[in-house]
Amino acid sequence: MMPMQRFRLPNRQIVAIREAQTRDAAAILSTLNQIGGETDFLTFGGGELNYPVEAQEHIIEAFAIRDNSVMMVAEIEGKVVAIATFDGAPRARLAHTGELGISILQAYWGLGIGRRMMDMLIDWAKSSGIIRKINLRVHEKNERAIKLYEKLGFRQEGVISREYQMGGQFFSNIWMGLAIDPPDSTD
């Protein structure tokens, strides 16, 4: 379980960051579909996630029941403005790893929400007793995201060329990773 946390943003609004519930399904879907149209740095464009709300409910449940996975939302005045996920690998030999994703509505970029969500997700991973490595993929031109991840200690581990194709151009994806070790571990 991840306890809810509330923060005051520089614009004085209060953001609540908490685990996603199935009742958030429609809001999550529409927020993701909006963000897809606001950035070139996600794997989907605006309105491209055209599956039904029930499918999103199943996705939320699937995250909730796995010990090594979590889906989080950030809410401002009852509106879902951001989603972050850690998708833990299902097989035993990989179950200590997983992939992180984070998406925030453009109107809320640069306010510290990404930093807060990442901090909470890393704390959750540290206290999970399972997670020992967080992986993520980031578009090579996504400077804001790369800066945020590097500030948190993520290191670039590899480059996959031609992962994105947009407007007749290819872009690479950078794999980044953060080791999660207990304080007394030397592994």
Ligand X SMILES: CC(C)(COP(=O)(O)OP(=O)(O)OC[C@H]1O[C@@H](n2cnc3c(N)ncnc32)[C@H](O)[C@@H]1OP(=O)(O)O)[C@@H](O)C(=O)NCCC(=O)NCCS
Instruction: Assess 138 for contact with ligand X (CB under 6 A).
Output: yes
CA distance 17 to 14: 10
Taking the least distance from each CB to ligand X, the nearer of 38 and 61 is: 38
Beta strands in the chain (DSSP E): 5-8, 14-19, 70-76, 79-88, 98-104, 133-139, 155-166, 169-179
Instruction: Assess 120 for contact with ligand X (CB under 6 A).
Output: no
Nearest-10 Cα torsion for 154, 156, 157, 163? 120
Q: CB 61 → ligand X: shortest distance, Å?
A: 24
Which one of 147, 158, 166, 170 is in contact with ligand X (CB under 6 A)?
Answer: 147
Instruction: Assess 112 for contact with ligand X (CB under 6 A).
Output: yes
Q: What's the 3-state SS for 137-178?
A: EEECCCHHHHHHHHHCCCEEEEEEEEEEEECCEEEEEEEEEE
Q: CB 93 → ligand X: shortest distance, Å?
A: 26
# residues contacting ligand X (CB under 6 A): 22
- For the window 91-110, what string marks contact with ligand X as x by the rule CB under 6 A? -----------xxx----xx
- For the window 25-54, what string marks contact with ligand X as x by the rule CB under 6 A? ----------x---x-xx------------
CA distance 89 to 11: 38
The CA-CA-CA angle for residues 139, 144, 147, to 5°, reads: 95
**SS3 breakdown of the chain: % helix, strand, coil, rounded to 5?**
30, 35, 35
Instruction: Assess 113 for contact with ligand X (CB under 6 A).
Output: yes
Q: CB 105 → ligand X: shortest distance, Å?
A: 8
Instruction: Assess 135 for contact with ligand X (CB under 6 A).
Output: no
Taking the least distance from each CB to ligand X, the nearer of 88 and 114 is: 114
Instruction: Assess 16 for contact with ligand X (CB under 6 A).
Output: no
CA distance 68 to 90: 9
Site residues, ligand X (CB under 6 A): 35, 39, 41-42, 102-104, 109-115, 138, 142-145, 147-148, 151
